[in-house]
Amino acid sequence: MSPASSTPPWNVRRLPRADGRVFLVTGGNAGIGYFVAEQLSTTGATVVLGSRNPAKAEAATASIRARVAGARVRSVRLDLADLPSLATVPEALEVEHLDAVVHNAGVALDDPPREETEQGHELMFGTNHLGHFALTRWLMPLLSAAPAARVVTMGSFAAKSERLDLDDLQSRTDYRPERTYGRSKLAQMYFAVELDRRLRTAGGTVTSVVVHPGGALDSLTPSRPPLPARTAGARLGAAPAALLLQGKHAGAWPAVRAVLDPAVRGDRLWGPRVFGLRGAPHPHPIWTHLADRSVAGRLWDASRDLTGVDPGVDPGATIG
């Protein structure tokens, strides 16, 4: 029996209850992250939006509360580009356990020049990958305190055609915004796959799952006032694309399923059913290059050296 046929039916519009559980969504104030948070809020869980912009986080929480009666949603300041600040996130959450974190936040630069974080890392690689790598380390005690926690990493189709240059992870030699973005997302996905291997080897209760949203467009996404709304012209112009692509509300479905469905496994890539671009969330084989354990191991070691932390090391320890 194939993994797909052994997976129980899943209804994206009839989610199971999750009362008493706590979920953190990085970048939960906008885009796909917003819809992940909104959908998880319908389950009765406490949903925390991780955001570096308090005003945008407040607008997002207000929007969710307006749409979901009794929503237990709040926000916490979280800046993935500032590595030292991430150590304070677990205390700021004010919870005894964390049932899932959705690593969704990310930055994409459309044009040169190359930018760096305060710690001197290329901005997209430093935020999208290194920030989540370090955050996982600090959250692991809270995740381990939950019965069966999930680390859900939002990948991207932009990573499918990319390959990492392990000698130029910071894009100092070859900086092209689109390529650098794709490689930063690929690094995230390598980390998530390797984290799952290490967690399974250790025999713990935490699972790491990689998802991707398929082709998710703003122009196909429902409006959520007071968040920025799509125009009538944009909706009309995007109509043909709806045959193959979808909105960001649907792009959130794989992550939501990865958080809630106990049948989801970490050795699959979860994305839209139809050509990996649109439709209900469905398990797909891990991309061949993502299964390269040598690359994943070298990336892990480099990430540990660049951040000074290791998600597999006791949080009381440091790497020096």
Give me the active site residues, please.
Answer: 181
Burial of 142 (0-12, 13-18, 19+ CB in 10 A): buried
Burial of 184 (0-12, 13-18, 19+ CB in 10 A): buried
Q: How far apart are CA 41 and CA 21, in angstroms?
A: 11
